[in-house]
Structure 1
Amino acid sequence: MNPIEKILKKQKAVVIDGALGTELERKGYELNDPIWSAKFLMQNPMAIAQVHQDYLEAGADCITTASYQASFEGFMKKGLSKQEAKELLKNSIELAKKTRDNFVQNNTNKSRVKPLVAASIGPYGAFLADGSEFRGNYKVSEQELIDFHKERMQTILETNPDLLALETLPSFKEAKALCELLKDFPNAHAWLTFSAKDEKHINDGTPIKECAQWLDKQKQIIAIGINCTAPQYIASLISQIKEVSTKPIIVYPNAGGSYDAITKTWNTKEEISSYKAKAELWYEKGATLIGGCCQTTPTDIEQIAKWVRED
């Protein structure tokens, strides 16, 4: 049984954590850097650990690692050796696992499921650091995408995370490349989430229904969905996925703001008065893994967790 199914047998939904990068910003840290939140793996890993801890205390059943924008190429551009880059990648997973294990050891609520650690693998566009993960228009072949992701995925899997989070993918081509690459690691499970530009299409223009129908046949993909997308599109996107797939649906939208690729910051956001109400709607539409992305906070995740466990 995959780790998501184990939790869904015990409760109606899996509570995913919220933003990492913008949560660090909210705490006063500066993120204007080509490797974004991954720079804290180099400079201040305990700041990352504190965010993980905050989400666990808020009720998250799964925390995602600080490896989204971490890559060999990105770290080596910062002057690190390949071996140093490899150690930082591994550290991003070990940091989350250690924080989770300490939380479990000290948690007095024995009815709580053991939280998962999902190792984040962001898109090629995240490495470009120019906002391409919200466009998907980078001109590379499927094989080039496989080559880019291969060593990073192998390194991350050496740390034995509970699953992979293949996230914020703007491109159907990249989703296919990552699924092809997963076959080299037959014991690995992953969720796969796209960034979307409207109610029916991922950011490269491919209908989400077409993506979900193809992914439904990929055995190592254990949940399909959407992240870092405006909340108003989520209900429709869930419905589109549900029409063509029987896999669990995962959603963790952003708070509705716009991203500035130059300053690496998010601008104005939609005010979400009740994340609980949003979560209930998304659950009714068919999502069973629910969390938040950029500009969401532990308070938002706490609302989801209380709703999931109020029964």
Structure 2
Amino acid sequence: MTDPIRDFIERGGFLVLDGGLATELETLGCDLDDPLWSARALIDDPEAIRTAHRRFLEAGADCIATATYQATFEGFRARGLDAADTARLLEQAVRLAVSARDGFVADRAIKPVGRPRPLVAASVGPHGAYLADGSEYTGDYGLSAAELYDFHARRWEVLAETEADVLACETTPSAEETRAYCRLAAVSHRPTWISFQCRDGAHLADGTPLEAAAALCEAEPHVVAVGVNCTDPGLTVSLIGEARRATGKPILVYPNSGEVWDAGTKRWTGPATAMDWARSATEWRRAGADGAGGCCRVGPAEITAIRGGAISSRTTVT
């Protein structure tokens, strides 16, 4: 198995991730008020997805995540699509990201000298994303690791056969879902990162210590990086330390804006955390992060700032 994350970091020094794909799709005019969320654009406006990917690449992202976070066989079946249609949409999502990446690389007018070829990550959202009830922020599914394995297996099988460089399990709220992902990575022999949703500076949404969850990832060779995403940016430094206690694998951090998702009203509420994204990226790298980006409510401007902060600090970070 190749390890695209470690290979990129060894060549580029630091991996800049993209921001919130759904946030950028809404900026482009997409209506995502739907249980399918960003995956709705695969049906309604796939070209907007390609445009959003390109915007993040131009902003400085070294890795873009596909519009498959909320794309599941069950979710599309509820929309009247059969299994073959769903598989085609999953494959299309990866092709859109690969096309945006390849077009960006081919455009010599904007290709930075010496910048490694960006990566494409096939996004895998948690069971709670399919439920669309906010339970990705609690992990309270009442399902075992075996049941969660069965839920994710069909989508995983399709994405594992695409051109994606890595599978990205995002906003993982529980130990049981972590165990399911580790087994899927082992069975498919595909490089995978697992990124956690955390309720505070040390615990997953379900209360599992992040150190314990990171240890599960450390034990599975096909999990090539550990991440934290869709958390308040103010928790990031603490979470890096907790993850580093259990793993020597690359750590990727991509917090949200600091606003809170209200599952009842389907809206982000509260103020965003006051942030100097460039300075924060410098701090995250010094704390031990190997890559950084943003999640919900984080756009291209913030990714440009993250790149400026993280890359400019490379000479002072060991």
TM-score w.r.t. structure 2 length? 0.94
Structure 1: gaps (5+ residues): none
The residue correspondences of 1:1-311 to structure 2 (distance < 5 A) are 1-108=2-109, 109-186=112-189, 188-310=190-312
> Which amino acid is the alignment partner of residue 208 of structure 1?
L
Structure 2: gaps (5+ residues): none
CA distance 1:115–1:41, shift in 2 (3 Å):
same
> Which amino acid is the alignment partner of residue 214 of structure 1?
L
Secondary structure in structure 1 of the residue aligned to 2:42: helix
> Which amino acid is the alignment partner of residue 64 of structure 1?
A
> Which amino acid is the alignment partner of residue 222 of structure 1?
V
Post-superposition, which runs of at least 4 consecutive aligned residues in structure 1 deviate over 6 A?
Answer: none
> Which amino acid is the alignment partner of residue 174 of structure 1?
E
RMSD: 1.3
Answer yes or no: is the 8 Å Cα contact 1:17–1:63 preserved in 2.
yes
CA positional deviation for 1:260: 2.2
> Which amino acid is the alignment partner of residue 282 of structure 1?
W
Report the Cα distance in structure 2 between the residues aligned to 1:64 and 1:5, rounded to whole angstroms: 17
Report the Cα distance in structure 2 between the residues aligned to 1:309 and 1:235, rounded to whole angstroms: 18
CA distance 1:140–1:148, shift in 2 (3 Å):
same
Report the Cα distance in structure 1 between the residues aligned to 2:296 and 2:305, rounded to whole angstroms: 17
Answer yes or no: is the 8 Å Cα contact 2:57–2:64 preserved in 1.
yes
Secondary structure in structure 2 of the residue aligned to 1:117: strand
Report the Cα distance in structure 2 between the residues aligned to 1:54 and 1:255, rounded to whole angstroms: 19
Secondary structure in structure 2 of the residue aligned to 1:302: helix
Report the Cα distance in structure 2 between the residues aligned to 1:157 and 1:24, rounded to whole angstroms: 25
Answer yes or no: is the 8 Å Cα contact 2:12–2:115 preserved in 1.
no
Report the Cα distance in structure 1 between the residues aligned to 2:149 and 2:202, rounded to whole angstroms: 26
CA positional deviation for 1:215: 1.5
Report the Cα distance in structure 2 between the residues aligned to 1:163 and 1:305, rounded to whole angstroms: 21
Answer yes or no: is the 8 Å Cα contact 1:131–1:259 preserved in 2.
yes
Answer yes or no: is the 8 Å Cα contact 1:32–1:263 preserved in 2.
no
CA positional deviation for 1:271: 4.0
TM-score w.r.t. structure 1 length? 0.96
1:227-284 deviation digits (Å, cap 9, x = unpaired): 0001111111111111221111110000100112244332234244420111111111
1:154-206 deviation digits (Å, cap 9, x = unpaired): 111111210010110101100101111222212x1011101000011000000
| Percentage of pairs with the same residue | 42
Report the Cα distance in structure 2 between the residues aligned to 1:264 and 1:300, rounded to whole angstroms: 24
Aligned length: 310
Answer yes or no: is the 8 Å Cα contact 2:285–2:310 preserved in 1.
no
